Structure 1
Amino acid sequence: MGAMTSFVKDKSWIIRIIVTCLILFISWFGQWGFTSIKAADAIEIQKLILDSVKMGQTAIILPEPYRLNPKIRIPDEVIRKTNEDIEGKLSRFYIPNSQILKKMVGQSESLLDAQETGNYRFLDGGISKYRNIKISGHGNIATVSADIWVWDKVLINNVIAHPEIGLHYQFSVVRIGETWAISDDSSDVIPGEGA
């Protein structure tokens, strides 16, 4: 009983607990509070994401006169130049020389090749609306989820179509120097929002 009384009377244990909690709080705040995604970074990341999706919709558009006439054969030189342009356009948004950049360029080049052999041409594309953009992370790493509706203007058998599809995107982004770049992305069709 005497030991308990002296323990309660000796208030140094309270000070130790308070100091320990304060140190833990400062270390947590230093790790997360000061390095969480700032508002300016969130705006930059959102712009990066939306611009990359829009560029993905328009990078595969051929130059004239091949754009409006599916019956004209596309010369190899035009295909080569367009493929180079695709990589140049998309590299502004993705980590340079990364697997994700190669994947996105490959998908765009496949759509370009399909235009050469098919009876359609992409005329235009973009984003019709977006919602539920959520950005989280800290320091130089962030994740983004967003619902984005993309559209195309396509010439199919001399008829213009305007398909639209809603996609739920997931992005991973990293800061490289002073700018942000996409390190990974994936998308799924929003149920009921397919073309």
Structure 2
Amino acid sequence: QALWSKVSAESETCTADRCRYRERGRCFFYRARRAAERAHLIIVNHALLLSDVAVENRVLPDYRYLIIDEAHHLEANVTRQLSFQADQRYVERLLNELARPVGVRRYTGFLGDVLARCRGKIPPEDWAVLEGHVHGIQREIEAALTNLYAFFSVLSSFLNEHSPKRGEYNQRLRLTSGLRI
């Protein structure tokens, strides 16, 4: 534990302006970073490279050449770390958590909460503008839901047509140039 605290650097607790070791030139992280900045060649593993990508290139210094250790795992790790899954119910739930009508100009969800908190606390003319915006957003949510249902209907048809495991619940299909429409 004592050794780890001297060689580890976590963004939440260790910053350049608060690092007591950096001030004395003894911070392992900043010494390693300075050495990497002077290097003509940087060798990283896929985890460090993807961490750099995830924080918009703020981990590794600028490089011209890069050797990736364990590169045979790179594709699988890129796919795992930089992808996400979203099914129809998940997206539908997100949209409904934003606003869902429960009557005439009454809504549940985040925007319903905003209206409830502002009711009687802002001038009537501002209230009318706010209510109009929420109503407009609700119309956009309804359009997004319609498009969502259409998208997943087309996707389902595409999978049924091209998937080798037709009719199975969990289907995976690799999109290649031959399958793209």
TM-score (ref. length: structure 2)? 0.23
Larger strand proportion, structure 1 or 2? 1
Larger helix proportion, structure 1 or 2? 2
Structure with larger RCO (C-alpha < 8 A, sep 6+):
1
